[in-house]
Chains A and B, each alone.
Chain A
């Protein structure tokens, strides 16, 4: 009885060993190439209410960007004997992303691209099993995640709200449109955006002469034509700054205000990491390549996911390594210079993990300007005139 048990165990162990050998051989199967495994975690979204049917709901923002970067990395990899593998985890609307992370990603992937909300990102970053990783945040713009709520292993690709607001403020300063009328929506995100606008106004000497909240009322006697005109009868101002991140009313403001004033903020002239009108600095090439692959324009999250995976590619190529230690050190080193089609090399701010980058100022069909604008100076890099600079940061990141 005991002997047969033992024999059974031996067989079991042998199976496990063979299995592991097989696994190991799979990992190096691609012609002895060094494999860099990357996980991509996202959750399906329910379509939000929209004001316009012109912009179709896109349910896979981010994914084609990551895929294109894998392709670019692999093209380099064929010369450096490295291979990049992207494993996608798409959690259904009613699923739990933390569970998926714990079960399918933890311990298996050192590099994870997260296309998730701020709350989900924090929940994952605080898991003990997620400490020894690099997590790329390709979605949020929250300033709190880059300040009091910052986490050591998280790198943020998209510009924070503060960076966006500073970009707008620099352009307004150049135009001398310094009197602002701030219109804020009712969501938490709108309030955070408005807070960034107020911070930028203070930094760049703008004056918020009026501030109103846009209450979504359903009174049928009110129309946009009458309502916006009445709503915007405030003390004179140069520009209307709107904070409406879900695009629930912002599009209704332009051309309907009481006075003839331009609209900036989340609608009108926007501050963004990427835009379809962006063609400079080789951008037209990636716009073309992306459109061919995805069948649609590149969105901000696509650009962010592209940069995240390209950043990994760049670090792996330069260090000739696939280890967490080497790659993380390189990503945060002075040597790291990522080409992001914005005319200057992109790099990570050591104090909060934010990707340093120019911010595009775009109207729906034209690129108006790119921040930092000429003349805004900084002792180290003009890119750090946008957002929280090192002396201002509230992030206590340990240098590791």
Chain B
């Protein structure tokens, strides 16, 4: 009898924990944030957050939520519980994406029109440095060992290696046409870069900054031009990587050890950004043109749900 009770208690606890996770999606055209409960697959509510919200991220302690409201030329800070606006950061013009340092004390913002990366001291709410990069910088990330900030410039077709200590570029790697997302593996040893116009992902060794591999995607029945990789995520064990293929409406599943493409999963239209659930058992996608998000169960590698969220879902973050 006892073990059974314990089991039930454990189950409740587990499902309770799972229920606690919420998925936050910025809606570019609705000027809003959608909050989704991923187990039931329900849109809980939609909150106004500001004009043209795109990139978003939670502080490492989960207490603050940052949202780039591009048409207001700022990054807003919200309380992650109450969603009350707490302040603004001086992001420079038209912020689209940004990255947080592992400790959450610094923010790095791409200023696309000005070919700059702005470094912000979050506590002081002050821009402390502007770094000149290539034309139209967009994708940006910080390695988890806090060594590198990577900025990808779309028109220069490069990733810039910025030393966190000096905030200066130390190296540049030429990649395929129109690099969009940049993402380190969990151990900071590899950098994965998606190239939208070339339909490829480039993997770079972070120590030598040499290209190890170039993965080209091909989906049966889809012409090459439609395969436009954007969001990239690699799981914590570096077993698999997931690449959002834009208007090809698919997420590619890549073996992160052999770099072979294992599968293409059909999701919504123009899939752009990706996020893992806290336990990395699910993957969430934003599908810009079908106004929904998809949920992929990673154990079975199947798309389990699609949930209408609002107009032009852009970024996605998970609040455990």
Binding site for B on A (CB under 8 A): 72, 75-76, 79-80, 282, 285, 288-289, 310, 314, 317-318, 337-339, 343-345, 378, 380-383
Question: In the complex, A384 Cα to B265 Cα: how many Å?
Answer: 28
Contact of A382 (CB < 8 Å), options: B155, B174, B197, B225? B225
Contact of B156 (CB < 8 Å), options: A75, A318, A338? A75
Q: Give A337's nearest chain B residue, CB to CB.
A: B177
B contact residues around A288 at 8 Å (CB): 113
B contact residues around A314 at 8 Å (CB): 157, 177
Interface string of B182-201 (1 = CB under 8 A from A): 00000000000000011000
A76 touches B112 (CB 8 A): no
- Say yes or no: is B130 at the interface (Cβ < 8 Å to chain A): no
A contact residues around B247 at 8 Å (CB): 343
A contact residues around B178 at 8 Å (CB): 339, 345
> In the complex, which residues 162-185 of chain B have their Cβ closer than 8 Å to any Cβ of chain A?
172, 174, 176-178
A contact residues around B176 at 8 Å (CB): 337
A381 touches B158 (CB 8 A): no
A339 touches B197 (CB 8 A): yes
A76 touches B198 (CB 8 A): no
A345 touches B177 (CB 8 A): yes
Q: How far is the CB of A194 from chain B (nearest CB, A)?
A: 31
- Which 7 residue pairs of A and B lie closest in terms of their CB atoms, listed nearest first? A344-B225, A345-B197, A79-B172, A337-B177, A76-B156, A339-B178, A72-B135
A282 touches B174 (CB 8 A): no
B contact residues around A80 at 8 Å (CB): 172, 174
- Say yes or no: is B300 at the interface (Cβ < 8 Å to chain A): no
B contact residues around A380 at 8 Å (CB): 223
B contact residues around A345 at 8 Å (CB): 177-178, 197-198, 225
Q: How far is the CB of A338 from chain B (nearest CB, A)?
A: 7
Residues A285 and B134 in contact in the complex (CB < 8 Å), given A79-B156, A381-B225: no
Question: In the complex, A175 Cα to B256 Cα: how many Å?
Answer: 46
Tally of contact residues, B, Cβ under 8 A: 25
B contact residues around A310 at 8 Å (CB): 155
- Say yes or no: is B154 at the interface (Cβ < 8 Å to chain A): yes
B contact residues around A72 at 8 Å (CB): 135, 155-156
A282 touches B136 (CB 8 A): yes
Contact of B198 (CB < 8 Å), options: A337, A378, A383? A337
Question: In the complex, A380 Cα to B155 Cα: how many Å?
Answer: 26
- Say yes or no: is B115 at the interface (Cβ < 8 Å to chain A): yes
- Say yes or no: is B104 at the interface (Cβ < 8 Å to chain A): no
Contact of B157 (CB < 8 Å), options: A76, A285, A289? A76
Q: Give A76's nearest chain B residue, CB to CB.
A: B156
Question: In the complex, A318 Cα to B197 Cα: how many Å?
Answer: 15
- Say yes or no: is B308 at the interface (Cβ < 8 Å to chain A): no
A contact residues around B134 at 8 Å (CB): 75-76, 79
A contact residues around B174 at 8 Å (CB): 80, 317-318
Question: In the complex, A208 Cα to B225 Cα: how many Å?
Answer: 33
25 contacts between A and B (CB under 8 A): A72-B135, A72-B156, A75-B115, A75-B135, A76-B155, A76-B158, A79-B134, A79-B156, A79-B158, A282-B136, A288-B113, A314-B177, A337-B197, A337-B198, A339-B157, A339-B178, A339-B197, A344-B197, A344-B225, A345-B197, A345-B198, A380-B223, A381-B225, A382-B223, A382-B225
Interface string of B212-224 (1 = CB under 8 A from A): 0000000000011
Question: In the complex, A337 Cα to B179 Cα: how many Å?
Answer: 12
Q: Give B195's nearest chain A residue, CB to CB.
A: A337
B contact residues around A344 at 8 Å (CB): 197, 225-226, 228
- Starting from the known contacts A72-B156, A317-B157, A381-B223, 7 additional A-B residue pairs (CB-CB under 8 Å) come to A72-B135, A76-B156, A310-B155, A314-B177, A318-B174, A344-B225, A382-B223
B contact residues around A382 at 8 Å (CB): 223, 225
B225 touches A285 (CB 8 A): no
A285 touches B156 (CB 8 A): no
Question: In the complex, A344 Cα to B226 Cα: how many Å?
Answer: 7
B contact residues around A343 at 8 Å (CB): 228, 247
Q: How far is the CB of B112 from chain A (nearest CB, A)?
A: 6
Question: In the complex, A155 Cα to B135 Cα: how many Å?
Answer: 25
Q: How far is the CB of B95 from chain A (nearest CB, A)?
A: 13
Q: How far is the CB of B193 from chain A (nearest CB, A)?
A: 15
Residues A338 and B225 in contact in the complex (CB < 8 Å), given A76-B158, A79-B134: no
Q: How far is the CB of A173 from chain B (nearest CB, A)?
A: 19
Question: In the complex, A333 Cα to B157 Cα: how many Å?
Answer: 18
> In the complex, which residues 203-237 of chain B have their Cβ closer than 8 Å to any Cβ of chain A?
223-226, 228
Contact of A339 (CB < 8 Å), options: B113, B115, B155, B223? B155
Q: How far is the CB of B103 from chain A (nearest CB, A)?
A: 29
Q: How far is the CB of B180 from chain A (nearest CB, A)?
A: 10
A383 touches B225 (CB 8 A): yes
Interface string of B101-141 (1 = CB under 8 A from A): 00000000000110100000000000000000011100000
B113 touches A289 (CB 8 A): yes
Q: How far is the CB of A319 from chain B (nearest CB, A)?
A: 11
Question: In the complex, A22 Cα to B224 Cα: how many Å?
Answer: 49
Q: How far is the CB of A398 from chain B (nearest CB, A)?
A: 27
Q: How far is the CB of A389 from chain B (nearest CB, A)?
A: 15
Q: Give B198's nearest chain A residue, CB to CB.
A: A337
Q: How far is the CB of B174 from chain A (nearest CB, A)?
A: 7
A285 touches B223 (CB 8 A): no
A338 touches B177 (CB 8 A): yes
